[in-house]
A and B are shown apart, each in its own frame.
Chain A
């Protein structure tokens, strides 16, 4: 996307490699457009920092701060020496008028984020914990572009703890549920991956548990 950003040079901010651009829980009043370098979005869970995403030049982040000054939901760390344009509510309208491409890009970003959050919400509102876990696999499967059609078998490079996180349950509970699936021969657990024998079976199962 070709954008005329020369006029926005005065909003440029430089960060050194390793710097925090913002951290979780900090009140946010700005969002950023990366011009140079990569930014890692991460969340601290217990005693590890989990990478959620790595963003490239041209990408936007921190966009939830546009409307209200709510706490950040993750950390943003400079992976390289980073240059970003920093926008807040004060200069936002000016930016949008001068550069509608960014506005459009932001709009598309919101549609994606809304979809992702809705999808997560659908998992979390299931009452049956087994259905929650099964639905996490369905969600990941939907986002994996390369599909081995023909068979229903799917391989997920993930861990029981991660599955538990998405399902909104404890790691222990997640392992217990997965073990149950293993005993039913619906799932196989390996060191580095989890295999779902038939994703269509999971889809039917989840649908039967969804409120209508």
Chain B
């Protein structure tokens, strides 16, 4: 049973740091909860109103009291043990609801303060944050999760600044999720981690989309391109070759035309048509000296020479790649492996 209890003025019901399992209701008199503000160290005096509970959080949460409960004028209180308080709460949900509101307010305020003081203090705004979650899942090939995040973005920010990218990524993620499943398949364009020359020239896409009515055309190119990528990943090189050739000749979205042109070489390599590989990439490099995937093209050139027995030429291509600055780790490993194979011969 809850117990009635009285305290004289200037006495203390509990001290900061005490571990107590009692919860109190003030019936009459004045009680002040005294503590120090965490941020400023300033003293805080919080006067309890008649009929108000105190000591609830520390008792329920089983942690030390956070303030001194000081009696200012003679006070009468009712003291509950935790089980007694729970009994009361179960039969009187209004009390709990009221406390829940107070607590969740406190928690929200604390949370905001803590976030503000975290590393850098530059918390992402929710719009950018949500978009970046989608990008993260794209990079990790967790396509279902990426679809979720981008779709949420589009729901909440239908005219947000990442709207176009989110819509495009959501579509790609959807396709990849169906085709390959989670964690499998090639990296989505723009999200290559290793094998594909790193940063794609995604900037070019915005310009291409500006041509009015280009939207439909663009997604056709994209779809055809992914079909081809899919064939390639199943090692159906002949089929992939035809598909990439079609995209390359379609005159559609420039980004996918270029990508497909590049992939033609990889298909030829898969088909062991090394002379054709050499011809293809040599021509491509002459035509586009600033090819985004230049490193990768040089690698296939080297490999094609190696397979055709021209180890001197192969070696000089590999050396050139290794001497370049922005070679990503994946490619560097592949080149080193090829060099070791050369030296083994």
Residues of A near any B CB (own CB < 8 A): 18-20, 23-27, 44, 47, 49, 63-64, 66-68, 70-71, 73, 75, 77, 93, 96-97, 100-101, 103-104, 106-108, 110-115, 117-118, 120-122, 124-125, 164-165, 168-170, 210-212
Contacts and interface: CB of A to CB of B under 8 A. Distances in A.
Chain B interface extent, by class = 35 or more
B174 interface: no
B3 interface: no
14 contacts: A24-B133, A27-B126, A49-B140, A66-B100, A68-B108, A100-B91, A101-B90, A103-B97, A107-B60, A111-B58, A120-B114, A121-B110, A121-B117, A164-B119
- Residue of A93, A96, A170 with most partner-chain B CB within 10 A: A96
A64 B136 contact: no
B188 to A, nearest CB: 16
B114 A117 contact: yes
Nearest to A174: B119
A19 B148 CA distance: 9
A71 to B, nearest CB: 4
Q: DSSP class of B's interface residues: helix, strand, loop or mixed?
A: helix
Given A25-B133, A96-B97, A170 B107 contact: no
B263 to A, nearest CB: 27
Contacts of B56: 111
Interface of B: 36, 38-41, 56-58, 60-61, 63, 66, 86, 89-91, 93, 96-97, 99-101, 103-108, 110-111, 113-115, 117-120, 124, 126-127, 129-130, 132-133, 136, 139-140, 144-145, 148-149, 152, 156, 182
Contacts of A75: 133
A143 B89 CA distance: 28
B40 A110 contact: no
A73 to B, nearest CB: 7
A64 B63 contact: no
A52 to B, nearest CB: 14
Contacts of B97: 93, 96, 103
Contacts of A67: 101, 104-105, 108
Nearest to B183: A18
Contacts of B130: 23-26, 71
A29 to B, nearest CB: 11
B118 A168 contact: yes
A120 B136 CA distance: 27
A18 B177 CA distance: 13
Given A25-B126, A73-B111, A104 B96 contact: yes
B109 to A, nearest CB: 9
A51 B41 CA distance: 34
Contact of B96 (A49, A103, A121): A103
A44 B57 CA distance: 31
A210 B41 CA distance: 8
A75 B107 CA distance: 19
B217 to A, nearest CB: 32
- Residue of A75, A93, A101, A164 with most partner-chain B CB within 10 A: A75
B44 to A, nearest CB: 13
A122 B38 contact: yes
B86 A104 contact: yes
A125 B113 CA distance: 10
Given A20-B145, A20-B149, A25-B124, A71 B129 contact: yes
A111 B82 CA distance: 13
Given A68-B108, A115-B57, A27 B100 contact: no
A171 B100 CA distance: 37
A23 B108 contact: no
A68 B109 CA distance: 12
B143 to A, nearest CB: 11
B129 A25 contact: yes
Nearest to B36: A212
A110 B129 contact: no
A20 B100 CA distance: 27
Contacts of B101: 67
Contacts of A110: 100, 103-104, 107
A70 B100 contact: no
Given A23-B130, A27-B156, A73-B111, A111 B89 contact: no
